[in-house]
Amino acid sequence: MTPEIRRLGRADYQPTWRAMQRFTDERGDATADEIWFVEHPPVFTLGMNASRAHVLAPGDIPVVQIDRGGQVTYHGPGQLVVYPLIDLRRRRLGLREMVVALENAVIGYVGSLGVSARGRREAPGVYVGEAKLASIGLRIRRGASYHGMALNVSLDLEPFQRINVCGYPGLTVTRLLDLVPGMDPAGAVERVARDLTPFLLRSLGYTEDSRDTETGAHGPHSAMSTESQAVSSR
């Protein structure tokens, strides 16, 4: 069963988060997986057990505590956020395999642009040198994933200076705009979403004939039951 690709454009963080929760709670055994691509207005998000001590000077950017693992990260315009809403049991993926699949999708994609990147077992995400290009934060509930991955494309990096990124004082971040010579920032997030899609589908073990829509409506689904987990590099 191939996933539906939903391109949500720019959407507020909290309604998108609540929509992911509803989708996960209502999905059934026959529900198709979905992958959402979105940009968010500026927001800092904190994991369930995150320390607010890592939020150094948020200023006028809101801080939202959410139900993933990990510490604090930033989302803003110019960052591609990918939410894979996937039945992990059906795909026979464990939590670690899911994290590696997301990392490998980005590593393969940026490699096609001439950028050498890597993952780190001790701190999940994608790095170019010692700088973080993409962060990963997942929640697993009832056997399915939500939350996901944030890839820095062309966003203003200044807000990352207001936090200890992912709980690591001094951790630097980078973005594709500074790594790919000649990248046009206009429409860059949409282009990256389009070009990343086949790498993401292959890394997750799908065929590439997924249905692609510009926005999503999330109807009711029957319930399943398992425990929930959370993991993050944020």
Positions marked active-site: 166
Distance CA 102, CA 204 (A): 8
- SS3 category, 178: helix
Neighbours of 73 (CB within 10 A): 30
> Residue 178: which residues within 8 A CB-CB, separation 6 or more?
none
d(C-alpha 180, C-alpha 200), whole Å = 20
Residue 181 burial class via C-beta count within 10 angstroms: exposed 0-12, middle 13-18, buried 19 and up: exposed
Tokens of 153: 């494309």
Task: From residue 226, give the alpha-carbon distance in Å to each of 48, 85, 140, 144, 232.
Answer: 19, 16, 9, 9, 20
Give the CA diameter of the chain: 49
The C-alpha atoms of residue 150 and residue 97 are separated, in whole angstroms, by: 18
CB 95 within 8 A of CB 143: no
Using CA atoms, how far apart are residues 115 and 124, in angstroms rounded to an integer? Answer: 18
Nearest to 160 by CA among 68, 45, 64: 45
